[in-house]
Amino acid sequence: MHRVPSARLAAAVVLASGAALSTQAQVVLPDNGTSLWQILDNNGPYAGSFQVGDKLFDFTGYDGGNHLADQITIKPVIFDNPLDGIGFDIVMNLTFDTDDLQNPSQRGDDGAGVKFNLDYTVTVLDPTLAINCALLGVKGTASGNAHISVSEDYVGTGVMDWLMIQDDASGNEVTSTKMFDPVTTLDVNKHVDIFVGGDDDRPGGGGDDTSSVHIEYIRQTFSQIPSPGTAVVFGAFGLAASRRRR
């Protein structure tokens, strides 16, 4: 487990490295969150970006439509030890079943449900830290011909991730963790597919069916370590202190 350096040691590192914490003003995401539509509104207070802890999230692409964006809440997530994870939940609380097959699809195919892409950039505002791990979590249920699928690409790291809930009515959160080389800025491309189809195992199939899907939230957090440059400074600081004790 990584420890947060004491204020005195952190100050020494900042002075030695010539770095300083970012003072860039950002809108901090409130504890109860806000709608995705409000975040994406270029004329609103967020204008596409928000801050959680020492992380800046800049939403750069979304194709799910305004109606869905207004139903989605983005809520901040900060673990007890912030080094273990900072990020956000995509809270949806949406349910679809085969009755929805009678309605015009929001998906662009014969199934019911929704699907969308969300692209964003996460930036570490503390120059002494770097992201080296991403956690993806999904909480929901799917029964019959239904599924929840979330995939994403951590651009430039060579790492991708994918989670699916299918034939699972437990409602337990499923998670996946991916490691990569430390970075201070990371682009993420996320694809969400929430699907329910008919009982003949084809999208839009007819007949009496009880297939259903419910999505509660999708969680995305990033854990971090001292940045490589900071580690060098820590090493030099420790060596100098050791020589002084001699």
* Residue closest to 215 by CA, chosen among 132, 119, 147: 147
Contact 46, 36 (CB under 8 A): no
**pTM for the full model?**
0.80
H helix or E strand, kind and range, residue 74: strand 73-78
Which pLDDT score is estimated for 82?
Answer: 86
**What span, in angstroms and rounded, lies between the C-alpha atoms of 124 and 224?**
9
Contact 95, 213 (CB under 8 A): yes
Residue type, 119: D
Which pLDDT score is estimated for 83?
Answer: 85
Which pLDDT score is estimated for 228?
Answer: 78
Contact 182, 229 (CB under 8 A): no
Q: Are strands 173-183 and 129-143 parallel, antiparallel or unpaired?
A: antiparallel
pLDDT in tens, the chain (246 residues): 322 233 322 333 332 333 333 434 589 999 999 999 999 999 999 999 999 999 999 999 999 999 999 999 999 999 998 888 999 999 999 999 988 887 766 676 778 899 999 999 999 999 999 999 999 999 999 999 899 999 999 999 999 999 999 999 999 999 999 999 999 999 999 999 999 987 554 444 444 467 899 999 999 999 999 987 654 444 444 544 545 555
Which pLDDT score is estimated for 22?
Answer: 40
Which pLDDT score is estimated for 6?
Answer: 30
The strand pairing partners of 137, in sequence order, are: 175, 219
Which pLDDT score is estimated for 108?
Answer: 66
Which pLDDT score is estimated for 192?
Answer: 97
Contact 33, 76 (CB under 8 A): yes
Which pLDDT score is estimated for 69?
Answer: 96
Residue type, 105: S
Contact 131, 28 (CB under 8 A): no
What count of other Cβ atoms lies within 10 Å of the Cβ of residue 206?
11
